[in-house]
Every structure is written in C-alpha cells, then in structure tokens.
Copies of this chain bind each other. A is one copy, B any other.
Amino acid sequence: MTDRTGRVFDALADPNRRYVLEALASRETATATELAAELPVTRQAVAKHLAALNEAGLVESQRRGRETLYQLTPAPLGAAMDWMASVGAEWDARLAALRKHLRNRRS
C-alpha cells in the first residue's frame, strides 16, 4: 500500500478531524474560525487538523483576502477504501475455500 493511504487513515483516526470532514462535506467551503466555533477546541487546533488533512490530500486551502477557505477533496478516500476492500476480499476468499474444504471432508 502506498504511504499516502497510510496518512489518510492517520487523518481519519481523530474524532475532531472526522467532524471537520463531515462539516466540509455539507458546506462546500469553510474557514478555520467557522469550524472552531462548532468544536470544543481553539482555532489553532482546528488549523493544525486542517493542515493534517491537507497533508493527507483530503482538503485543499485557498486564500481569499484575509480569510482562507478550506474545501474537501475526497479522492484519497477511494484509495483507502480500496485497501480495506482488498483485505476483506482476500479474507473472504480464504474463508470460502475453508468452508468448501470442510464440506468436502465431511461428505
């Protein structure tokens, strides 16, 4: 798996970061101060989270005047989902093989 996918999971591991993603998903765009108003942490904490999300490629920033707007970029979610799906699928295949094997032995 690529290292980028690792950073996605790392970004998703924090509850506040997940809330930020949900908020951005329903909002088109938002500033750090706006998001901080809905969370029990300071603006700087939110700014750090946004930096982490940006590092993971989940968010893009765009400065307009004195405020910087953040916007969701959900593409890396796909790669992460692919990894999970592959792990699950491989295991499912093993399980199916095992079941078949047991059925054959029993008969």
A13 CB contact (under 8 Å) in B9, B78, B84? B9
Asked if B81 and A25 sit within 8 Å, CB to CB, the answer is no
Asked if B92 and A28 sit within 8 Å, CB to CB, the answer is no
Q: Which of A12, A92, A98 is packed against the most chain B CB atoms within 10 Å? A: A12
- Tell me if A85 is interfacial: C-beta within 8 Å of chain B: yes
Q: Which of A27, A91, A94 is packed against the most chain B CB atoms within 10 Å? A: A91
Main secondary structure of the interface of A (DSSP, over half): helix
Which residues on B sit within 8 Å (CB–CB) of A26?
90, 94
Copies of the polypeptide in the assembly: 2
Asked if B6 and A87 sit within 8 Å, CB to CB, the answer is no
Asked if A6 and B18 sit within 8 Å, CB to CB, the answer is yes
CA A40 – CA B104 in complex, angstroms? 40
Interface set, chain A 73-105, CB cutoff 8 A to B: 74, 77-78, 80-81, 83-85, 87-88, 90-92, 94, 98
